[in-house]
Amino acid sequence: MSQKALSVVALVLGLCIVNAANAHHPPLMDYCSALTFTGEVERIEWRNPHVELLIRADDGESHFVSWLNPQQLSRADIDRDTIRAGDRVTVTVGTREDAVVPRPKLLAAITKLSDGWEWSQTPQGC
C-alpha cells in the first residue's frame, strides 16, 4: 500500500475514534452555574462508559445523572454498596448549556445523608 493510501486510512481511523469518543459525552457542562438538589436514588446502573443514577428530587422532578466510569470509581474506593437505590442524597450537577433537550447531568458532588459519606470532583475554571 502506498504512503498516501496509508495516510488516508490512518486519518479516517483517527476521525472514527474521535467521533466514537465524543458520541457518549453530553455537551459541555457549566459547573460554575451548577444545580444542587436533595432527593432519593431511584436507580443506579454500574456500566461503562459511565455509572448512571436516576434521582427523584424532593420537588418530584427526576434527574438522570452521569458519574465517572466503574474503574475510576473503584480506584476511589467506591463500589456498588457505596450508593444504592433508596439512599437519600444531596447532589450537585453541572448544568447543560442547552437544557432544552433532556440529557444526563454530570455529577460534580454527592453526599449520602444517612451517614455523611461524600464524593466530589473539583470544578475547573470557576
Domains and CATH numbers, the chain: 28-120 (2.40.50.1010)
3-state DSSP assignment of residue 120? strand
117 in the Ramachandran plot: left (φ > 0), alpha (ψ -120 to 50) or beta? beta
pLDDT in tens, 5-18: 555 445 555 554 44
pTM above 0.75, yes or no: no
- Distance CA(37)–CA(115), nearest Å, equals 18
Q: Please check whether residue 50 is in contact with residue 66, taking contact to mean a CB–CB distance below 8 angstroms.
A: yes
35 or 54, higher pLDDT: 54
What percent of the chain is predicted at pLDDT more than 90?
55
* CA 14 to the chain's CA centroid: 25
The C-alpha cell of 44 is what? 443506579
pLDDT in tens, 23-39: 445 445 555 668 899 99
**DSSP-assigned beta bridge partners for residue 82:** none
In the structure, what pLDDT confidence band is assigned to residue 20 with cuts at 50, 70 and 90? very low
